Amino acid sequence: MAKSEATRRRMLLAEETRCPENIRLLQEAVALRLDAARQLGYKTHAEFVLEENMAKTPDSVLEFEKDLRRRLDVLADSEITEIEQLKQADKKAANETYTGLYNWDFRYYSNLVKERKHKVNEERVKQYFSVEPVTRGILDIYQDILKLRFDKVENPPVWHPDVTMYEVWEADNSAFLGHIYLDLFPRQGKYGHACVNPIQNGSENSDGSRVYPVAAILANFPKPTSTTPALLTHDDVITLLHEMGHLLHHICIQTKWAHFGLDSVQHDFIECPSQLFENWGWEPSVLQKFAAHYKTGERIPKELVAQLVAAKNEGAGLFNLRQVFFGMFDMAIHNTEDANVDVEATYKALREQITRFSGGSGPGCGAATFGHMMGGYDAGYYGYLWAKSFSADMYATRFTKDGITNAQTGMDYRREILCPGGSIDASVGLERFLGRAPSSAAFLESIGVANSQ
C-alpha cells in the first residue's frame, strides 16, 4: 500500500486521466440513447430500459437508491471518523497540514482500518486456499445443495492447456445437464476480469430431445510457480463462488426455447443467484471442509476464519455508498430529457456528494473508464445492490433457517429461481421461493444497518 499521499494522488490521476476521448463518446451515446427512446415513445432512456426489468420504472430505482443512501450515511459516519483520525495522525507525524479526505485516500485508509482492527494477514490466509482443493470444494457445495454431479473430463478438447472441463449430471444419474469449462489463469490477450460466457443455451428439439447448455468461467487467478501451487486470496474464493453461481444458473435453466437462457434473465436480477452463493464462503463450517494448508494439509484455523468473518463488513457503509454513487450517476445521465447532460461534471459532483471523499482540483474523470456504461449496464447499474437485497433475503429466509446444506431447500431454489431462466418475471420465482414478497431487511441487517433507521 502507498503510504505517501502524493504517490496515491499520482496513481489515481494516472488512472482517471486515461482515455479522455471516452467522455465525448459516452456523451454521444447518452444523446443517441435518449433520441432512440423518444422515437419509441419514452421520455427517457431509463424509462425504456427499465420497462422489462423487475424495477419497471425509474421512480422505483430512485426510491431504492435514495432510501439505501439515507441508511448507509448513518453507517458511514462512524467509518469516516475512523479514517479521518488515521489520516490526521499521519499528517501530524509528518508535520503536514490535514486538508481533508480525497478519493485517493479511500482504499488506502479503508484497508488500513481493516488490517489494524481485525489483524487479517492476507499472505497467511492464502496458504490455505490452493486453487485445486478450493475448486473441488466449491463444486461440492453446488453438488450437495443442488443435487448435481460434476465429472472431470480427461484430455478434454479445450482452447488452452490450463482449461479444465466437466460434465454436469443429475446426482442420481437420471439426466445429463451440460458441460462447463474453467479457464482460471491469466495469459496474454485474455479478458482481464472474471466473468461467465455462455457458449450454448439449452433448448428442446422438435422431437423432445435436449440441446445441452455449455458455458465457461474466465478468471485471472495467480498461476502456480515452480515451488507453490496457485494460491487464492479469500476475495478470490468469493469471486469463484460468485462466478460458479452464474455458471450453474446457465446449466440449470430448463426452458423449451434457447432465447430464455442466461442472457435473457432480467438485468436487475441476474446477479442474484451468483451473489447468493457468496454466502457459503463466509460460513466457518464450509471453509473448514476445503481450506487446508498447501504444505501441511492442516485445516484452516478457526481463529483465522473468525478474523475473516469479523472483517467482512468493515467499511460496508462507505463501500456500498460507492455502489449507490455509480447507480445514481447512471440514472442521472440516462433518466433525463436533456440530451446535453454534462457527463463529466455530473460524475464529479455526485461522487463527492455521495461517497464523502473530495475529488480535489486535479484533471481527469473516472467516467471515462466506467466501462459498464458502454457494456450493457446503462440504466442498470443499480441492479447490483437491487439483486444483493434479494440474495440476502433468500439466504436468511430459507437457507439459514432450513440449514445451509439442506438439499430440499436447494432443489426448491433450483426449481423456482434457476430453472425458469428468463421465461418468467424474477419476482414471480422469488415470491414462490420465499413464500412472500421480497424484502431488503435481511440485506440491511447483514451489513450492520438497523432497519429502524
**H/E stretch holding 246:** helix 234-252
Question: Given phi > 0 = left and psi -120 to 50 = alpha, else beta, which region is 222?
Answer: beta
State the residue for C-alpha cell 469471486.
239
Residues near 94 by beta carbon (within 8 Å), at least 6 away in sequence: none
- Reading the block at residue 90, the C-alpha cell is 499521519
Helix axes 21-39, 343-355, angle to 10 degrees: 100
Q: Calculate the CA dihedral of residues 248, 249, 250, 254 and round it to 10 degrees.
A: 110
Q: Is 278 a catalytic residue?
A: no
Q: Is the separation of the CB atoms in 182 and 158 below 8 Å?
A: no
Q: What is the distance between the alpha carbons of residues 69 and 61, in angstroms, rounded to a whole number? A: 12
From the candidates 16, 243, 314, 416, which is the catalytic residue? 243
State the residue for C-alpha cell 435473457.
264
Residues near 91 by beta carbon (within 8 Å), at least 6 away in sequence: 97, 98
- Reading the block at residue 358, the C-alpha cell is 473530495
* CB count in 10 Å sphere of residue 136: 13
Backbone angles phi, psi at 21, to 5 degrees: -65, -20
Residue 338: Cβ-neighbour burial (10 angstroms; 0-12, 13-18, 19+):
exposed
- Catalytically active residues are 243
